[in-house]
Amino acid sequence: MSAPLVVFGGTFDPPHIGHLLAAECARWQAGAREVRFIPAGDPYRKAAREVSPAEDRLAMTRLAILHNDALTVDDREVLRRGPSYTADTLAEYHAEGEQNLVFVIGIDALADMPNWKLPARIGELARLLVALKGEDASAIAPLARAAGLARIPEPLDMPALGISGTLIRGRVRAGKPIRYLVSPAVAGYIEEHGLYR
């Protein structure tokens, strides 16, 4: 079997150092050759809040990974019309011959997974690594069962960081610095395009 491919989907609004650390830790833990960031085109589960345009989130994600050749960006969900469904994206990868997939998911997304399209299918198509945000790993099993997953996902082995897109957007709105929370290129893009004001 080929080396695993780590797939990291998300809104990436904006992509921050927590995402980069999670990607690198997932690549190491999975023994993967590559991590593909997949910004959601239409993140239907985020309808309760304003989300930056997909083109901006895609551009920032490309800028965030510039200095790591093992990280790439896949724009398929941005180019796809309609809502972005992880099950569809993972099925496309399988159809393209990528059978050894590892999907990185945050604990908050795992908790929401019962509301996703075909959550059990996601667990069939990929091994799941869960990024905890200070929660205990024992929280994973009940959430996985609630989502109908046949296999209990593994916790992602990474240091806890108190960084989130919500924190960064709030800091920008308040005129506070975001240096070292995002890459310099992403910070420049946010400033140049007036995002989160």
How far is residue 180's CA from residue 92's CA, in Å, rounded to a whole number? 35
Bridge partners (DSSP) listed for residue 6: 35, 102
Instruction: Give the torsion sign (CA, 149, 151, 152, 157).
Output: negative
Contact 129, 7 (CB under 8 A): no
CATH architecture entry for 5-161 = 3-Layer(aba) Sandwich (3.40)
pTM of the entire structure?
A: 0.94
Which pLDDT tens digits describe the chain residue by residue (197 residues)? 789 999 999 999 999 999 999 999 999 999 999 999 999 987 766 555 689 999 999 999 999 999 999 999 999 999 998 888 999 999 999 999 999 999 999 999 999 999 999 999 999 999 999 999 878 899 999 999 999 999 999 999 999 888 999 999 999 999 999 999 999 999 999 999 999 99
- Could you report the per-residue pLDDT of 150-192, keeping only the tens digit for each? 999 999 999 988 899 999 999 999 999 999 999 999 999 999 9
pLDDT 10s digits, 130-143: 999 878 899 999 99
Centre a 10 Å sphere on the Cβ of residue 48 and count the other Cβ atoms it contains.
6
Largest alpha-carbon pair distance within the chain?
50
Enumerate the domain spans of the chain: 5-161
Q: What single letter denotes the amino acid at residue 34?
A: E
For every residue of 25-38, DSSP letters joined together read: HHHHHHT-SEEEEE
Q: What is the DSSP letter of 48?
A: T
Buried/exposed code over 82-120 (b: 16+ C-beta within 10 A; e: otherwise): eebbbbbbbbebeeeebebbbbbbbbebbbebeebebbe
**Is residue 39 helix, strand or coil?**
strand
Tokens 């946010």 belong to which residue?
A: 190
Hey, what amino acid is at 48?
Answer: A
Strand partners for 127? 102
**Backbone φ and ψ of 32, nearest 5°:** -90, 155
- Find tokens 């490309």 and name the residue: 62
Please give the helix or strand (H or E) that residue 64 lies within, else none.
helix 54-64
Q: Can you tell me which residue has the tokens 């395009």? A: 193
